[in-house]
Amino acid sequence: MNQNVITEQMTAAGQKIEHSSFSIVDAEAGDRGSYSEEQWPLVRRMIHATADFEFNGLTEFHPNAMQAGLEAIAAGAPIVADVEMICVGLSKPRLSYFGVKTHQFISDEDVIVTAKSEGTTRAVQAMRKAHKLGLLDGAIVGVGNAPTALLEVIRLIEEEGAKPSLIVGMPVGFVSAAESKDIVAAANQVPWVITRGRKGGSTLVVSAIHAMLALAEAREKNK
């Protein structure tokens, strides 16, 4: 396999450290369960980002998740995030290589005003705004912070015909975080990657998408 260029660390020293870290994760992870050859790099990168081996097991995939994500990236589909942290965390050179743009609306004034007037959360209104702008269709939706965003995406799919390519649903927390991910997996209309239970976070969403970007580059080079 040819070495990735765009989705690698920018310096030889950085690449060496990252590759060594991945090798350590591989060596210490133990049983990888039923993860496929394409799924494991995503789980491995999440473990690398958190030093938490519980994600080897907590991470679950819809059967079509990896294919849907890689096709969306190759097509330059947008990424719609629940919070700015995801957009900031994603590598701009890696995204621009595929023509992928990120969007988040959590702090927009109209989102805040509507959330207050309707008694909802900013996360709910942000996803509604993304849908009104036509950004959800074909998109990768990344949720690492707000369970209400994840629940709203499912509602938009079921009731308003939104059609994301993939949901990366990994909200962290104690109120509805675990339940929202269970609902995504049960709804099953759109491919998904989730972390079961309370654990999650924007860092994990960034790691998952970076893994997909690397796989998409490798796939492109091996055509």
**Which residue, chain included where needed, has tokens 């990344």?**
142
Distance in Å from the first CA to the final CA of the chain = 11
48 is catalytic: yes
**R_g of the chain computed on alpha carbons:** 17
Annotated active-site residue in 48, 62, 103, 131: 48
The contacts of residue 88 (CB under 8 Å, 6+ apart) are none
Q: Tell me the CA distances in angstroms from 52 to 28, 49, 181, 195, 202, one per residue in order.
A: 11, 8, 19, 12, 15
What is the spatial distance between Cα 123 and Cα 105, in angstroms, rounded to a whole number?
A: 8
Q: Annotated catalytic sites, by residue? A: 48
